[in-house]
Amino acid sequence: MFSRQRKARVLFGLSDILLTILAFEAAYETRSILHLERAFYLTVEKRALVMGFAVLAWVAIAAWMGLYEKLDSGHPRIILRDTARQCAYGFLCLVVFEYLLRLDLSRPFLILFTCYVWTVLLLFRLTAGRLVGLMRREFGQPHYIMVVGTGERAVRLAEALEQSQEYKVKLRGFLSERIAATADGPQARKTISMGADYPVWPIGELPSILRQHVVDEILFAVDSASLPELEETFLLCDEEGVRTALAVDFFPHVNSTLSLDRFGPVPLLTFSAAPYDEIRLWMKRITDVAIAAAGLLVLAPFMALVAALIRLTSAGPAIFQQERCGLNGRRFRFYKFRSMVDNAEELKQGLAHLTTRETAFKIPDDPRVTGLGRYLRRFSIDEWPQLWNVLRGDMSLVGPRPAIPSEVAQYKQWQRRRLRMRPGLTCLWAVSGRDLVDFETWMKLDMQYIDNWSLALDWKILLRTIPRLVTGHGAS
């Protein structure tokens, strides 16, 4: 049953490819017939190159944003917002692509294409849910399901199945692991009433049921203690080729993402409370390396100037080094331009009574900060050397700020989860007030970032950070 969701995602991806190509051709033809001052023409090779990149960009952006997961059930307002974001990001990618390859594309053409693709994608997506439902109702075969278990969890699952009847999902009935089988064959002993009355059979009568009824899938919604007793049932389904699924909500308060992995011959059910998608994390790392390397090259002469000014205006080294906690508590050497007096760490204990935060040490108008240091801090220039930490892999561009070990030792248990994400130069706290945010809110914003992480969210935070750095808003 749930493989249909994967098929829907593939169909949505294919529709994006076709609609993007259609919009590209429409925009090209429209621009060709417009009598503008500058003539516009693309060779076959260049046209194929630009179209191919546009298709790849639009589909990749949609996948990163998770659009294909919700198109058949999304609210129109959300579809409108997400489609606009996808097209905006796609337009930026096209502009960068054109600039890097010196393609000299027509600006009206790019604008026309973006408008066309937004229009056709939006129209399709607003009707996608009804189209998918119609196709399933008119052309799909009924999918018969049985639920093993009769408790509250099993009934909740069955109620959800009932709501999918318009997609031809048919609940055949329940199998009870507590009712003994008889020699009379598959005869129901009682019923469970929901929207309709569904029969309950003993689990031992499953072989007869499979011979006499069509059963496409069996869902197990039983207590974990009952699983060993159901081994023979699982083996029967395996031998019969019946698709089975196990509801694993044994720990109702655990919000981790579940995935099935395999280590050698051993299947593992994995609970992950932090992002674990290796492909998307790999893409995040590639972005980190590319931007950090470019940033270091561009900023090198300015960093040399800042270092010289620090040495000229106060005693001590230009670079401040400190041990910080990284991914999963790994220790690493953290770098930044020195913005305080050279003996700032020695003076810290005597100023502890002035801190405004319970865990993290923070003093308004810290007397240890130098005159130049206040300027460096306001515009986050002191953070530039951390691009080296990003390049080395100690940090990321976006992620929870790296804490010192003494602060981590004071964390509450729920706050330690922020260590499960690679620390970064900026995060939600940076675009929500920076130093004006209290410690508790800061920690909650980090959890919000971890729980909702995506590549699109990273780019959103990066773009929102830029004006904060330029204006120095929220820094102290």
* Average pLDDT of the residues in 344-356: 70
In this model, does residue 245 exceed pLDDT 80?
yes
In this model, does residue 383 exceed pLDDT 60?
yes
Written as one letter, the residue type at 129 is G
The three-point CA angle 329-357-401 to 5° equals 35
In this model, does residue 33 exceed pLDDT 50?
yes
pLDDT by residue (tens digit) across 8-18? 677 788 888 99
Task: Using alpha carbons, list the distances in angstroms from residue 368 to 56, 345, 391.
Answer: 52, 9, 30
Coil vs helix vs strand at 449:
helix
* Average pLDDT of the residues in 70-94: 82
Q: What is the structure's pLDDT at 17?
A: 92
pLDDT by residue (tens digit) across 417-459? 888 889 999 998 888 776 677 788 888 899 999 988 888 889 9
**Predicted confidence band of residue 402 (pLDDT cuts 50, 70, 90):** very high
Residue 119 to residue 159: CA distance in whole angstroms: 37
Strand partners, 171: 145
Coil vs helix vs strand at 22:
helix
Which of 61, 56, 109, 107 lies closest to 88, judged by CA? 61
- For 71, counting Cβ atoms within 10 Å of its Cβ (0-12 exposed, 13-18 middle, 19+ buried), the class is buried
**Predicted confidence band of residue 2 (pLDDT cuts 50, 70, 90):** very low
Q: What is the structure's pLDDT at 181?
A: 52
pLDDT by residue (tens digit) across 298-317? 999 999 999 999 999 988 89
Maximum C-alpha span of the chain: 96
pLDDT higher at 129 or 414: 414
In this model, does residue 290 exceed pLDDT 90?
yes
Mean pLDDT of the chain: 83
Domain boundaries, the chain: 3-139, 143-253, 278-471
DSSP E strand stretches across 264-400: 266-272, 319-325, 331-337, 396-398
Residue 16 to residue 23: CA distance in whole angstroms: 10
Residues 359, 422 contacting (CB under 8 angstroms): no
pLDDT by residue (tens digit) across 39-55? 778 888 888 999 999 99
Q: State phi, psi for 265 to the nearest 5 degrees.
A: -85, 0
- Ranges of H-type helices in 337-438: 344-348, 371-378, 386-392, 405-408
**Tally of CA atoms within 13 A in the half-sphere of 421 that contains its CB:** 30
In this model, does residue 221 exceed pLDDT 50?
yes
Residue 209 to residue 174: CA distance in whole angstroms: 11
**Predicted confidence band of residue 476 (pLDDT cuts 50, 70, 90):** low
In this model, does residue 144 exceed pLDDT 70?
yes
Residue 466 to residue 223: CA distance in whole angstroms: 51
pLDDT higher at 41 or 116: 116
pTM: 0.62
Residue 375 to residue 398: CA distance in whole angstroms: 23
pLDDT higher at 372 or 273: 372
pLDDT by residue (tens digit) across 84-98? 999 999 999 999 888
In this structure, the dihedral spanned by the alpha carbons of residues 4, 10, 16 and 17, taken in order and rounded to 10 degrees, is -150
pLDDT by residue (tens digit) across 165-195? 766 788 989 998 776 555 555 555 688 888 8
- Token representation of residue 94: 């096209």
- Ranges of H-type helices in 102-185: 107-139, 152-162
Coil vs helix vs strand at 237:
helix
Residues 341, 368 contacting (CB under 8 angstroms): yes
Is domain 143-253 classified as CATH 3.40.50.620? yes
Residue 314 to residue 125: CA distance in whole angstroms: 61
